[in-house]
């Protein structure tokens, strides 16, 4: 449904109603809004405006004689046309910056876990972060380390410090010089390719190798699916208790849906991937705009972040009654902070 055109007065009342409802979680009365505006508008005038907003499907009256609450369309109009972004405080920025810089810069998963915790704590919602799609990352180098006569550690470095390790069983101990030669030829042949390209073409690329350990090279190419395939999506999430404590999720049916969502990471990953903008803009999906029924009472605020050339998503899930102006600022700041951190 297209957003309706509003008069200045209708915009003013809708903005006040949304902001009041987000804070109180209770239907907003015309008398209360009149007080908010220092009685410059009478309760009767505001009541008439709210009836017009209801006719435009921007607000609803949950019960007879109750005040109004925003609809999904009302939130959408607010987010697109009325919302003023609320900057993070100095203390909040410091909390993010210090928290991330105190984590080992080479431990991507630890940094993402900490970032997720920050999202949850500052927003008081459910923080979510998808790990980068490592198969998009460019191969930098491979190291082979002998652990025993029959065990070999394969260390693959990907763009921007991402690392994957694989334990490989071998038939017999391989001399160090042979391991170095094998690593050298692999690095020469595979440099600059994505892991997906390597996995799909390594057999052809290693056909005519004249040095290194031939048996090991054969074993590495035969094990390409294991060595060069990385789990595409892994989800970090924090703050399940935050979302469950919201008044919107006080009834059993909604609690069940949220727990089901948290429990089924594949569904959650699918939802996140379908709602995130492909450019660098913040993506906000509200209520029934979500195609999946399991989240049609929630809003998602997401942004992409980059580690080198590898892109993924972070964001926040909460009820539609969300402080969008603050959450948007938080998601934007953290996505840019991660980009700077890994640059």
Residues 76 and 37 grouped into a single domain: yes
Cα separation, 309 vs 72, whole angstroms: 35
Cα separation, 235 vs 20, whole angstroms: 33
β-sheet with 139-146: strand ranges across: 139-146, 151-158, 162-169
Residues 184 and 303 grouped into a single domain: no
pTM score, whole prediction: 0.77
**Residue 101 is assigned to a structural domain of this protein:** yes
**Residue 64 is assigned to a structural domain of this protein:** yes
Residues 129 and 262 grouped into a single domain: yes
User: ∠ CA 195-198-199 to the nearest 5 degrees?
Assistant: 85
- Which residues does 118 contact at the CB level (< 8 Å), separation at least 6? 95, 96, 99, 100, 127, 334
Maximum Cα–Cα distance for the chain, whole Å? 89
Residues 275 and 306 grouped into a single domain: yes
Residues 184 and 51 grouped into a single domain: no
Nearest to residue 82, comparing CAs of 22, 28, 41? 22
Provide the 8-state DSSP code for 220. H
Residues 245 and 275 grouped into a single domain: yes
For the chain, what percentages of helix, strand and coil (3-state, to nearest 5) are there?
Answer: 50, 20, 30
Residues 122 and 242 grouped into a single domain: yes
Exposure string of 276-306, with b = 16+ CB inside 10 Å and e = fewer, is beeeeebbbbbbebbeeebbebbbbbbbbbb
Residues 129 and 139 grouped into a single domain: no
β-strand pairing of 283-286 with 310-319: unpaired
Q: Read out DSSP for 187-217?
A: HHHHTT-BHHHHHHHHHHHTTT--SS-HHHH
Question: Residue 158's CB: how many other CB atoms inside 10 A?
Answer: 25
Cα separation, 26 vs 39, whole angstroms: 21
Q: How far is CA 13 from CA 28, 41, 82, 94, 113, in A?
A: 11, 10, 11, 35, 40
**Residue 267 is assigned to a structural domain of this protein:** yes
**Residue 125 is assigned to a structural domain of this protein:** yes
The last residue of a domain, from among 227, 260, 289:
227
Kindly report the CATH number assigned to the domain that includes residue 285.
3.30.450.40
**Residue 1 is assigned to a structural domain of this protein:** no
Tens-binned pLDDT, residue by residue, of the chain (343 aa): 567 889 999 999 999 999 999 999 999 999 999 999 888 999 999 999 999 999 999 999 988 777 999 999 999 999 999 999 999 999 999 989 988 887 766 667 788 899 999 999 999 999 999 887 766 667 889 999 999 888 999 988 877 566 778 888 988 888 999 999 999 999 999 988 888 888 889 999 998 888 889 899 999 999 888 888 765 567 888 988 888 888 888 777 778 878 887 777 788 888 887 776 656 689 999 999 988 888 888 999 999 988 766 788 999 999 999 999 999 999 999 999 988 887 6
Kindly report the CATH number assigned to the domain that includes residue 165.
3.30.390.60
Write down the pLDDT at residue 280: 62
Residues 113 and 243 grouped into a single domain: yes
Write down the pLDDT at residue 12: 96
Residues 199 and 144 grouped into a single domain: yes
Residues 209 and 274 grouped into a single domain: no
Residues 128 and 240 grouped into a single domain: yes
For the chain, the domain total comes to 3
Write down the pLDDT at residue 231: 56
Nearest to residue 51, comparing CAs of 16, 14, 82? 14
**Residue 276 is assigned to a structural domain of this protein:** yes
Write down the pLDDT at residue 195: 81
Contact 80, 95 (CB under 8 A): no
Domain containing 205 equals: 135-227
């Amino acid at each position: 449904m297209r957003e309706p055109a509003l008069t200045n007065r209708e915009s003013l009342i809708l903005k006040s109603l949304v902001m009041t409802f987000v804070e109180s979680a209770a239907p907003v009365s015309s008398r209360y809004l009149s007080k908010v505006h220092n009685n410059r508008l009478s309760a009767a005038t505001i009541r008439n405006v709210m009836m017009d907003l209801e006719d435009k499907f921007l607000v609803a009256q949950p019960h007879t004689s109750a005040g109004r609450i925003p609809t999904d369309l009302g939130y959408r109009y607010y987010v697109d046309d009325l919302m003023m972004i609320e900057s993070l405080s100095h203390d909040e920025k410091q909390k993010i910056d210090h928290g991330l810089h105190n984590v080992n810069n080479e431990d991507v998963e630890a940094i993402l876990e900490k970032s997720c915790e920050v999202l949850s704590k500052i927003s008081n919602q459910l923080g979510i972060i998808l790990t980068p799609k490592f198969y998009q990352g460019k191969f930098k180098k491979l190291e082979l380390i002998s652990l025993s006569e029959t065990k070999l550690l394969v260390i693959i470095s990907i763009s921007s410090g991402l690392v994957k390790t694989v334990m490989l069983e071998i038939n017999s101990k391989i001399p160090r010089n042979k391991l170095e030669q094998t690593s050298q030829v692999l690095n020469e042949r595979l440099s600059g390719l994505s892991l997906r390209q390597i996995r799909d073409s390594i057999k052809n690329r290693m056909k005519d190798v004249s040095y290194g350990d031939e048996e090991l090279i054969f074993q590495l190419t035969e094990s390409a699916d294991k060595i060069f395939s990385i789990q595409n999506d892994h989800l970090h999430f924090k703050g399940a208790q935050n979302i469950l404590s919201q008044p919107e999720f006080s009834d059993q049916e909604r609690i069940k849906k949220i727990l089901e969502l948290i429990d089924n990471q594949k569904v959650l990953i699918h939802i996140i991937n379908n709602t995130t903008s492909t450019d660098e803009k913040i993506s906000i999906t509200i209520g029934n705009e979500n195609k999946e029924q399991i989240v049609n009472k929630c809003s998602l605020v997401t942004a992409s972040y980059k580690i080198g050339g590898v892109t993924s998503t972070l964001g926040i899930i909460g009820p539609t009654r969300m402080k969008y102006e603050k959450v948007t600022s938080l998601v934007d700041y953290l996505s840019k902070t991660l980009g700077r951190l890994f640059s």
